[in-house]
């Protein structure tokens, strides 16, 4: 007969032969979290420190911050689950020294200190800089999509409100009739009525009445703001985002990742649906963090074609200390082509087929007709580009035998030409150098690593908080957790402990 290892009988009294400290490995992450949080000046970082008063003593801000850092590191974000971890997880019990704050205390701490949570991200970057883990030689910028706390069912379009209201009123009438019918049957035939069924219909009726009140309230919002087309009822800062063919309410998190150790140096969030206006804000934040860390030298700022914008490129192309590389791919070239020229009936009559005379400032069509500038000042098109407009004389154009191949307009063929065409062409030519080609290839390997870790390893694909500012805070904290995990994979624990002893963020 096989003899198996036996546990301690559950009814038997026994004493632990270990102290709490011996239950946790000497190189466990909680030991670093404990030392690191104790080294921080939380008041200076913006955390709200409670005033001294009589009554029940509060939990320290350090304890609550330790709970969140360990929780996010172990993929636990819910305040209710964190409360349970404080009661049953030996590492958490070690970290909190046996304290068990309730979920509301834990939740309120995050809600009341959202701005300070962003500062934790920056504070950890200072430690990374102290350990010589970041260089700022090259920074790759990219965005991804996270779901918000606004379901698709809570997104209301102005044109659909009357239909939604009518459908809700119809449900209310149906439930009222069902209850009236049950009441009539009970009075006439005195049958045994299913009370559970009555309760269920009553609850549905109450829910639909509340929904009707909400719909009328939202209709009032649309009436008060004629420009408003879509209303997000749960999280007003959410916007519809397209991600891998699916559209849903959410946000567009942005990250700047340095090349030395793939550490995130800038974390931000926007509710804009694309990245085309986000390059400048991200570059400005890169410059700010460099200044805070007193880092000098040139930085390559690289981004993919989603950031390719003439306005953004011209704004940043001559910035001191920043060399920008934004790659135009086939789709982007197609977009620029559509911006620069109208659709033409036949090949051979596109903008590139018109000759430009710089001295006369005119274009000549393939059949020798001149197109003269018609605007006195530079105009801005719908893409934000500064353009000049050149147009052929309508009489000459309409009398041309080849007009049907060139334009369908009765006002004569027009060209919208970038006022910065030469500067942009110079920039595009510069992208063809071997060094810039290398940087374009390097971008993907830098920025995909953090997003892959955050979304696949941690499983963070949505935000728990509502509102753009709180969402920014949560994403900064998530990026801090990513950086922490990255540093723990690079630097031995004893070296980390030495670095934080006596350090002040």
What are the boundaries of each domain within the chain? 20-112, 138-148+237-327+431-490, 152-232, 332-427
**Predicted local distance difference test score (pLDDT) of residue 185:** 74
CA-CA distance, 466 to 468, in Å (whole number)? 7
CA-CA distance, 113 to 322, in Å (whole number)? 33
Report helix, strand or coil for 414: strand
Buried b / exposed e over 87-123, threshold 16 CB at 10 Å, is eebebbbbbbeeebbeeebbbebbeebbbbbbbbbbb
Model confidence, pTM: 0.85
**Predicted local distance difference test score (pLDDT) of residue 50:** 78
If DSSP states are collapsed to H, E and C, what string results for 10-70? CCCCCCCCCCHHHHCCCCCHHHHHHHHHHHCCCCCCCCCCCCCCCCCCCCCHHHHHHHHHH
**Predicted local distance difference test score (pLDDT) of residue 330:** 45
Q: Cβ(139)–Cβ(259) under 8 Å?
A: yes
CA-CA distance, 476 to 114, in Å (whole number)? 10
Q: What is the mean pLDDT of each run of 10 residues along the chain (505 residues)?
A: 72 67 86 94 90 75 95 95 94 92 93 92 94 94 93 88 91 88 72 74 90 90 88 90 88 95 95 92 94 92 91 88 83 47 74 89 92 88 83 92 88 89 88 90 87 93 94 96 95 89 52
**Predicted local distance difference test score (pLDDT) of residue 54:** 58
**Predicted local distance difference test score (pLDDT) of residue 351:** 86
**Predicted local distance difference test score (pLDDT) of residue 503:** 46
Q: Cβ(278)–Cβ(255) under 8 Å?
A: no
Q: Phi first, then psi: what are they for 384, rounded to 5°?
A: 85, 5
Element (H, E) at 246: strand 246-258
Domain 138-148+237-327+431-490 CATH assignment equals 1.10.3470:
no
């Amino acid at each position: 007969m096989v003899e198996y290892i036996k546990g301690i009988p559950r009814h038997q009294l026994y004493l632990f032969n270990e102290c709490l400290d011996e239950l946790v490995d000497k190189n466990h992450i909680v030991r670093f979290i404990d030392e690191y949080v104790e080294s921080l000046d939380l008041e200076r970082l913006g955390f709200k420190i409670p005033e001294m008063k009589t009554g029940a003593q509060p939990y320290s801000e350090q304890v609550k911050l330790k709970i969140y850092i360990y929780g996010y590191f172990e993929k636990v974000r819910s305040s209710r689950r964190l409360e349970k971890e404080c009661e049953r997880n030996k590492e958490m019990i070690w970290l909190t020294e046996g304290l068990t704050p309730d979920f509301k205390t834990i939740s309120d701490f995050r809600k009341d200190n959202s701005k300070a949570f962003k500062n934790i991200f920056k504070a950890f970057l200072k430690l990374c800089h102290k350990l010589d883990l970041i260089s700022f030689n090259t920074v790759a910028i990219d965005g991804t999509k996270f779901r918000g706390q606004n379901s698709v069912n809570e997104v209301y379009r102005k044109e659909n409100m009357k239909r939604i209201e009518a459908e809700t009123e119809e449900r209310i009438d149906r439930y009222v009739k069902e209850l009236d019918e049950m009441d009539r049957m009970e009075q006439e035939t005195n049958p045994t009525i299913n009370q559970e069924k009555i309760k269920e219909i009553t609850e549905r009726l109450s829910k639909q009445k509340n929904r009707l009140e909400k719909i009328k309230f939202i209709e009032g919002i649309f009436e008060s703001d004629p420009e408003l087309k879509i209303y997000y009822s749960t999280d007003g800062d959410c916007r519809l985002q397209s991600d891998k063919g699916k559209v849903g309410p959410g946000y567009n998190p942005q990250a700047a990742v340095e090349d030395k150790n793939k550490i995130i140096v800038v974390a931000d969030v926007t509710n804009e649906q694309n990245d085309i206006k986000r390059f400048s804000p991200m570059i400005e934040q890169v410059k700010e963090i460099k200044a805070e860390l007193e880092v000098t030298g040139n930085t390559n700022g690289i981004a993919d074609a989603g950031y390719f914008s003439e306005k953004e490129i011209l704004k940043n192309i001559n910035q001191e200390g920043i060399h920008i590389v934004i790659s135009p791919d086939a789709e982007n070239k197609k977009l620029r082509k559509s911006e620069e020229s109208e659709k033409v009936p036949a090949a051979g009559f596109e903008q590139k087929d018109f000759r430009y005379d710089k001295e006369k400032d005119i274009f000549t069509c393939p059949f020798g007709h001149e197109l003269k500038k018609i605007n006195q000042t530079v105009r801005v098109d719908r893409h934000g580009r500064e353009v000049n407009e050149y147009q052929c004389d309508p009489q000459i154009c309409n009398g041309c035998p080849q007009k049907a191949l060139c334009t369908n307009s009765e006002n004569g063929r027009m060209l919208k030409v970038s006022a910065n065409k030469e500067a942009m062409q110079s920039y595009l030519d510069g992208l063809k150098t071997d060094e810039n080609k290398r940087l374009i290839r390097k971008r993907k390997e830098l920025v995909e690593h953090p997003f892959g870790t955050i979304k696949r390893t941690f499983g963070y694909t949505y935000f728990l908080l509502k509102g753009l500012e709180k969402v920014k805070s949560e994403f900064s904290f998530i990026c801090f957790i990513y950086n922490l995990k990255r540093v723990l994979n690079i630097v031995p624990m004893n070296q980390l402990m030495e670095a934080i002893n006596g350090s002040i963020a």
